């Protein structure tokens, strides 16, 4: 004879595969939309980041004739010079209106001041609240400074002083950040999408197990059967776990396919997000499944109706974001303590896998162990709640 | 055989059952009658072990409801007040699911389902999804799944709720059939007409206590009313005045 829990699980799976809403949210919406959107967004972001470096600096300049040497210097350094309206007020108006991004205004007295050996004024007009322009403005500013240093060196040499005098200190910047370190937020989003789709896969089943059965009026009849309540809820949680696993596997598969079109190397992620990495991602995320199923079932069993359950369980979908957000903000590195935090530990392990780092066996064990223990406790709590008389409402 | 003795149950401060004692014998239809809120559903819920009594005892075929809930549920077929089906399963699958959870399988289970499909006139809808069924059809399917394991005792909580005249007639025939097979049928109702003609024994309860019990004739005699409904109304009013 088949065990009652298994009978329940088989029935739940059959029923939910026939339910259009469950089917789409668990097996289509969650696993496909996330990875596709992610890949699209990444491609666009990377495209822009890469193209920004290659494009020549475009600078609108007014009063070009006043400073031919400066213009030549800028052009020699890869700047495309355009002609702008010949006044500071006009330049400001143009930038404010969005007609121009960056305007260099060379006033008439520039040449005169330069000849006198006085600081010659230059106005660089741009809108600092526009993120797109900041990079170009910085490049233009650096070029102008460099030109100024060149002039200073010439003047010093003319007076018989070595230009080195002007460099009393030499600050060197040593940047040890890796591209992967800088892309931690992006990676965080990816792990979140994986965990989100996993939870989404079991959402409707978890709600159905308690609030759904009660609202439909099928719960009481079910409880008149000669089956332990633990077996009933156990079977339902089992079905929830299977759906979540299916969702997870589909999500990872979708990522494997969709990320082929994303130039991952420029983010420092291992460019071969192939089958081995995908399987490893699946492996480290699996222990999260019973935890999610238990948590959603417990929350659903406190609610009175399907709608109420949906509201609360949907909030659960936000829970895995919190540790990931914190990890991203503080740039946390994996250690044994963090591995004890479910969802964060999965995030850190997946991040490592995507970076192409090797995982430590103890980290995997701690992550899986704590997730499974918390999951087990939640499932036990769900069973306990299912045994209450108040279950019938 | 269902035996209930001095059953009491409170929900918080509300006393749902004060003192309920009655017997439902094999081969007879016993009607549990009372106005809404009298304690009918609570009594039945204790019998099918969904909830526990605070004191007193209830037993089905000698199995105590508190100590041997699984044995009790095995010997019961229950149609609770809420008869929800699984909308994405067919009528037949709904019945089969219950059969499997009752421990039946294979040929035996399928034969049992076929028998019930024929008996409850479900052939036309057996393979339709439950969400498309009418209220009457739903109750028939719920009844089929309650009877799939051939229980000795059958509990029906307000079985005629939401049924039209034709469906009630079918249901009555079915209940008489179950009685004639020697089963113990216990049903509850707050509508006198539909139950008077059907029951061999009546247990009238009000405010969690048994007000009167006996055969329909005995109830008529005790209240001095020819009409069972009139008797029921008088008893209820007396109860309220008390």
ipTM here = 0.91
pLDDT of residue A52: 56
Domain assignment present for B91: yes
Q: What is the number of structural domains in chain B?
A: 2
pLDDT of residue A53: 58
Chain B CB within 8 Å of residue A119 CB: no
> In this structure, what CATH number is given to the domain that contains residue B202?
3.40.50.300
Chain A CB within 8 Å of residue B141 CB: no
Inter-residue contact B41 to B157 (CB < 8 Å): yes
Residue A181 pLDDT level (bands cut at 50, 70, 90)? low
pLDDT of residue A358: 82
- Which residue range forms the structural domain that includes residue B194? 2-75+153-241
Per cent of chain A over pLDDT 70 is 91
Q: For chain A, give the longest Cα–Cα distance.
A: 105
CA distance A317 to chain B (A): 26
Is residue B59 domain-shared with residue B129, that is, in the same domain?
Answer: no
Nearest CA in chain A to B75: A226
Is residue B164 domain-shared with residue B56, that is, in the same domain?
Answer: yes
- Measured N-to-C along each axis, helices A4-18 and A184-207 cross at an angle, to the nearest 10 degrees, of 110
pLDDT of residue A45: 72
- Which of B150, B184, B207 is the last residue in one of the domains? B150
| Residues of chain B with C-beta less than 8 angstroms from the C-beta of A220 | 50, 80-82
Nearest CA in chain A to B131: A216
Say whether A16 and B88 touch across the interface (CB within 8 A): yes
Of A217, A225, A392, the CB nearest to B101: A225
Is residue B165 domain-shared with residue B59, that is, in the same domain?
Answer: yes
CA distance A22 to chain B (A): 12
Give the list of residues 6+ apart from residue A386 with CB closer than 8 angstroms, or none: A210, A229, A230, A232, A233, A301
User: Domains of chain A, with CATH numbers?
Assistant: 4-47+180-392 (no CATH), 55-172 (3.40.1710.10)
pLDDT tens figures, A63-119? 888 888 899 998 888 888 888 777 888 888 888 888 888 899 998 889 888 888 889
Classify strands B14-24 and B2-11 as parallel, antiparallel or unpaired.
antiparallel
- Which of B127, B150, B173 is the last residue in one of the domains? B150
Of A7, A217, A219, the CB nearest to B101: A7
- Residue A235 three-state SS: helix
d(CA B197, CA A212): 38
CA distance A305 to chain B (A): 15
Which site among B74, B91, B100 would you substitute to test the A interface, given the most A Cβ atoms closer than 10 Å to its Cβ? B100
pLDDT tens figures, B168-221? 888 888 999 999 999 999 999 887 777 777 899 999 898 889 988 998 888 888
| Residues of chain B with C-beta less than 8 angstroms from the C-beta of A239 | none
Q: Which residues pair with B8 in a beta bridge?
A: B55
| Residues of chain A with C-beta less than 8 angstroms from the C-beta of B92 | none
């Amino acid at each position: 004879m088949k065990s009652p829990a298994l009978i329940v699980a088989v029935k739940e799976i059959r029923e939910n595969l026939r339910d259009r809403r469950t089917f789409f949210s668990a097996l289509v919406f969650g696993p496909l939309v996330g990875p596709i959107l992610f890949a699209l967004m990444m491609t666009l972001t990377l495209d822009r980041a890469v193209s920004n470096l290659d494009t020549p600096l475009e600078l609108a300049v007014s009063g070009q004739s006043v400073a031919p040497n400066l213009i030549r210097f800028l052009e020699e350094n890869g700047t495309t010079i355009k002609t702008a309206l010949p006044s500071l007020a006009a330049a400001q108006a143009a930038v404010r209106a969005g007609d121009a991004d960056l305007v260099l205004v060379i006033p008439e007295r520039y040449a005169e001041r330069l000849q006198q050996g006085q600081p010659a004024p230059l106005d660089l007009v741009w809108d600092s609240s526009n993120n797109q322009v900041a990079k170009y403005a910085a490049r233009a500013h650096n070029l102008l400074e460099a030109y100024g240093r060149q002039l200073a060196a010439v003047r010093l040499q003319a007076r018989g002083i070595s230009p080195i005098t002007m460099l009393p200190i030499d600050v060197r910047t040593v940047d040890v950040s890796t591209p992967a370190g800088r892309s931690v937020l992006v990676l965080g989003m990816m792990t979140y999408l994986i965990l989100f789709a996993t939870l989404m896969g079991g959402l409707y089943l978890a709600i159905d197990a308690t609030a759904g059965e009660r609202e439909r009026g099928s719960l009481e009849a079910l409880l008149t059967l000669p089956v332990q309540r633990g077996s009933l809820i156990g079977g339902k949680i089992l079905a929830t776990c299977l759906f979540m696993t299916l969702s997870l596997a589909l999500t990872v598969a979708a990522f494997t396919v969709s990320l082929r079109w994303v130039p991952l190397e420029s983010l420092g992620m291992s460019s071969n997000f192939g089958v081995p990495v995908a399987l490893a991602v699946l492996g480290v995320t699996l222990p999260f499944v019973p935890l999610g199923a238990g948590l959603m079932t417990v929350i659903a069993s406190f609610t009175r109706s399907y709608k109420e359950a949906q509201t609360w369980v949907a909030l659960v979908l936000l829970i895995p974001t919190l540790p990931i957000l914190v990890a991203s903000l503080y740039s946390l590195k994996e250690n044994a303590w963090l591995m004890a935090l479910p969802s964060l530990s999965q995030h850190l392990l997946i991040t490592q896998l995507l970076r192409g780092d090797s995982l430590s066996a103890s980290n995997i064990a701690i992550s899986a162990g704590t997730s499974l223990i918390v999951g087990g406790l939640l499932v036990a709590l769900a069973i306990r709640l299912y045994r209450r008389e108040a279950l019938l409402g | 055989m269902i035996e209930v003795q001095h059953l009491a149950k409170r929900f918080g401060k509300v006393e749902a059952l004060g003192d309920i004692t009655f017997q439902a014998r094999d081969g007879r239809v016993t009607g549990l009658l009372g106005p809404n809120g009298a304690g009918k559903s609570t009594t039945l819920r204790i019998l099918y072990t969904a909830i526990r009594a605070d004191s007193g005892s209830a037993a089905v075929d000698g199995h105590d409801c508190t100590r041997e809930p699984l044995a009790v549920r095995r010997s019961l077929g229950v149609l609770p007040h809420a008869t929800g089906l699984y909308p994405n399963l067919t009528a037949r699958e709904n019945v089969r699911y219950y059969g499997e959870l009752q421990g039946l399988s294979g040929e035996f289970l399928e034969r049992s389902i076929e028998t019930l499909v024929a008996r409850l006139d479900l052939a036309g809808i057996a393979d339709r999804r439950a969400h498309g069924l009418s209220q009457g059809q739903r109750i028939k399917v719920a009844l089929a799944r309650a009877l799939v394991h051939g229980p000795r005792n059958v509990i029906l909580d307000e079985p005629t709720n939401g049924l039209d005249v034709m469906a009630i007639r079918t249901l009555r025939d079915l209940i008489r059939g179950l009685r004639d097979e020697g089963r113990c049928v216990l049903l509850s109702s707050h509508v006198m007409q539909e139950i008077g003609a059907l029951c061999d024994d009546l247990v009238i309860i009000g405010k969690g206590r048994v007000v009167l019990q006996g055969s329909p004739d005995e109830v008529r005699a005790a209240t001095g009313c020819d009409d069972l409904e009139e008797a029921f109304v008088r008893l209820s009013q007396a109860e309220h005045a008390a």
